[in-house]
Chains A and B, each alone.
Chain A
Amino acid sequence: MNLKRDVAVQTYSGLGLSALLAITILNIMLHNMPQSVKRAGEKLLEINSQDGVANAVTTVVVYFRGFDTLGEIAVLFIASLGIGLVLSSHSEHHHKVESSFILKTASKLLFPIIILFGIYVMVYGHLSPGGGFQGGVIVASAFLLLLISHQDFELSHSVISAFETLAGVSYVIIGLMGLWILDNFLGNFIPHDISQMGMLVSGGIIPLIYIIVGIKVGSEMSMIVQNLLKRSDNE
């Protein structure tokens, strides 16, 4: 058969199907979305203030759907595990290009500041925009800077996995303590007075869990970054 004609037929039929799908989806969503989907969170916002947390997004992530967040962290862990498994299969070494003096000094200067900012974003996740996921990624970016600029710098696998394991286990333990004390998984068993809303120590277990999420995301992302960088170096 004529290959060119086949490709043309496939392209046109694909485009036609895509256009049909687009028109159908737009038709459905333009008629139904504005009323039905929009205000799903009204009720949640009403009961939100009972937990004494100023940031409603944090309450939803950590408390109302805390079990889903545990699952999402598990997905992140599996992705990190897969990258480590795939990319660490060979480890031949190569000649290293030394970074310039300015790059080295500047990255050393910036590293603690970025780490501090990441920890700030984690700890204040229940009061301001931010939280564990964002703070963890900021911490990983600090390690990325150091890994790029210092060729001989390497994160220790055992330290990172210790952090990761500790964070994962303490998430589950806090959830199980809620089950034991309040009869629901991830129940807010630490006293949380509504009058303390807006303080650093408020909201019971919610800031604690978000810090744990931050440690876990930070260590996993740093490991992913290191695996990708060190592997692609080995040309």
Chain B
Amino acid sequence: MSDIFTYLNQKEVIDSIVLIGSMALFFVGLFGLLSQKHIIKIFISISIMEISIFLLFVGSTFVKGYTAPILGDGFEKFVGMNDPIPHAMILTAIVIGMAVFALGMSFAIEYYKLTGITDIDKMREMRR
């Protein structure tokens, strides 16, 4: 049993697990985006794809034994700490992603109020 854990704790193996998992989530979102007809489900699929990218960035900085890049609690120097750049990027991207998702939702709600349609195949306003 401990052999499995030592194998899984290798850096390359952790990287591969993070990468394959987030890619799988990405393609779950992509499949939803392509196969669903309801507009809100399409927005949710896009959101799932976005979250898989966040997972990839945050997970790719993981190194076993490293801490968060914050001083204090006995840490005096920035040594043995995780890379702060992906964290900083994803931190802002989560908030922006939520706001843009809300914007898309508001368009969908308003379109439904005006026409009563949620199926994207029936949206014919732009097809002249």
Among A18, A30, A59, A220, which residue has its beta carbon within 8 angstroms of that of B16? A30
Instruction: Return the chain B residue nearest A232 by Cβ.
Output: B109
Question: When the two chains form the complex, which single residue of A38, A72, A129, A228 contacts B96, counting CB atoms closer than 8 Å?
Answer: A72
CA distance A211 to B35 in the complex (A): 43
Which of B1-9, B39-47, B66-74 binds A?
Answer: B66-74
Q: Indicate if the CB atoms of B70 and A86 lie closer than 8 Å.
A: no
Contact B102–A45 (Cβ < 8 Å): no
Q: Are B102 and A57 interface neighbours, CB within 8 A? A: no
Instruction: Determine how close the nearest CB of chain A comes to the CB of B15; give it in whole angstroms.
Output: 5
CB distance from B81 to the nearest CB of A (A): 6
Query: Please, how many residues of chain A have a CB less than 8 angstroms from a CB on the other chain?
Result: 60
**Closest chain A residue to B14 by CB distance?**
A34
Check if A40 is an interface residue, CB within 8 A of chain B: yes
What B residues does A89 contact at CB under 8 A?
110
Residues from chain A with a CB closer than 8 A to the CB of B88 are 57, 60-61, 65
Known: A61-B92, A76-B99. Is A49-B78 also a contact (CB below 8 A)? yes
Whether A37 sits at the interface, judged by CB under 8 Å, is yes
**Secondary structure of the B side of the interface?**
helix
**A54:B85 contact, CB within 8 angstroms:** no
A56-B70, A57-B84, A80-B99 in contact; A86/B91 too (CB < 8 A)? no
With A33-B19, A54-B72, A220-B99 known to touch, is A87 a contact of B31 (CB < 8 Å)?
no
A170 at interface by CB-CB < 8 Å: no
Among A45, A54, A133, A228, point to the contact of B95 (Cβ < 8 A). Answer: A133
Q: Is B118 an interface residue (CB 8 A)?
A: no
Interface residues of A in 202-235 (CB under 8 A from B): 217, 220-221, 224, 227-228, 231-232
Task: Evaluate whether A217 and B95 lie within 8 angstroms (CB atoms) in the complex, with A44-B85, A197-B71, A198-B71 already known.
Answer: yes
CB of A173 closer than 8 Å to a CB of B: no
Say yes or no: B15 contacts A34, CB within 8 Å: yes
Contacts of B107 in A (CB 8 A): 86
The residues of A that contact B50 with a CB separation of less than 8 Å are none
Q: Which residue in chain B gives the minimum CB-CB distance to A26? A: B23
A55 to B21, CA, bound (A): 29
Q: Which 5 residue pairs of A and B lie closest in terms of their CB atoms, listed nearest first?
A: A56-B69, A41-B83, A60-B88, A79-B99, A54-B71
A binding-site residues for B, Cβ under 8 Å? 11, 14-15, 18, 22, 25-26, 29-30, 33-34, 37-42, 44-46, 48-49, 54-57, 59-61, 65, 68-69, 72, 75-76, 79-80, 82-83, 86-87, 89, 127-129, 131, 133-134, 136-137, 197-198, 217, 220-221, 224, 227-228, 231-232
Provide a sorted-by-A list of 22 A–B residue pairs whose CB atoms are within 8 angstroms: A18-B27, A34-B12, A38-B60, A39-B83, A41-B84, A41-B85, A42-B83, A45-B69, A48-B84, A49-B77, A54-B70, A57-B70, A75-B99, A86-B106, A87-B106, A128-B70, A128-B72, A220-B99, A221-B95, A227-B106, A228-B102, A228-B106
Known: A42-B83, A54-B71. 20 other contacts (CB 8 A): A11-B35, A18-B27, A25-B23, A29-B19, A34-B11, A38-B83, A45-B78, A48-B78, A49-B71, A49-B77, A54-B72, A55-B69, A57-B88, A61-B91, A68-B92, A76-B99, A133-B92, A133-B94, A227-B106, A231-B109
